[in-house]
């Protein structure tokens, strides 16, 4: 019975992945495309942008096109710094 469940899970995953859509022009070297600093800002405002994107199709949480790796790095730093990252989550509190 277990191989049937595994096969069904893979079939469901393949079906869901077939619905994925990718925008062709994701990176650009043109002047004015978002880079590291915009990525950092977009990472900081991600929670609010995500909530806004649920109600308005004009709000996006990620800039496309962007400069590529540096934008992604800034976005990652913005999200982890705002969320406290793993440093704050791993600290244990002293119980008194």
**Residue 13, in any domain of the structure:** no
Number of domains in the chain: 1
**Residue 96, in any domain of the structure:** no
Contact between 42 and 50 (Cβ < 8 Å): no
Q: What is the pTM of this model?
A: 0.61
**Residue 6, in any domain of the structure:** no
Contact between 40 and 48 (Cβ < 8 Å): no
**Residue 81, in any domain of the structure:** yes
**Residue 54, in any domain of the structure:** yes
**Residue 9, in any domain of the structure:** no
Range of the domain at 84: 24-90
- What residues are paired with 66 via a beta bridge? 27
**CA-based R_g, the chain, Å:** 19
Give the model's pLDDT for residue 93: 59
**Residue 14, in any domain of the structure:** no
Tens digits of residue pLDDT in 55-94? 998 988 888 888 888 999 999 999 988 765 555 555 555 6
Tens digits of residue pLDDT in 15-24? 777 666 655 6
């Amino acid at each position: 019975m277990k191989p049937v469940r595994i096969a069904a899970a893979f079939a469901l995953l393949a079906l869901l992945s077939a619905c994925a859509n990718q925008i062709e022009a994701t990176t650009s070297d043109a002047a004015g495309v978002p880079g590291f600093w915009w990525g950092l800002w977009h990472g900081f405002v991600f929670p609010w942008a995500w909530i806004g994107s649920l109600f308005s199709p004009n709000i996006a949480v990620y800039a496309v096109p962007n400069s590529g790796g540096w934008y992604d790095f800034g976005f990652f730093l913005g999200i982890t710094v705002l969320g406290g990252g793993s440093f704050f989550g791993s600290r244990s509190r002293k119980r008194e």
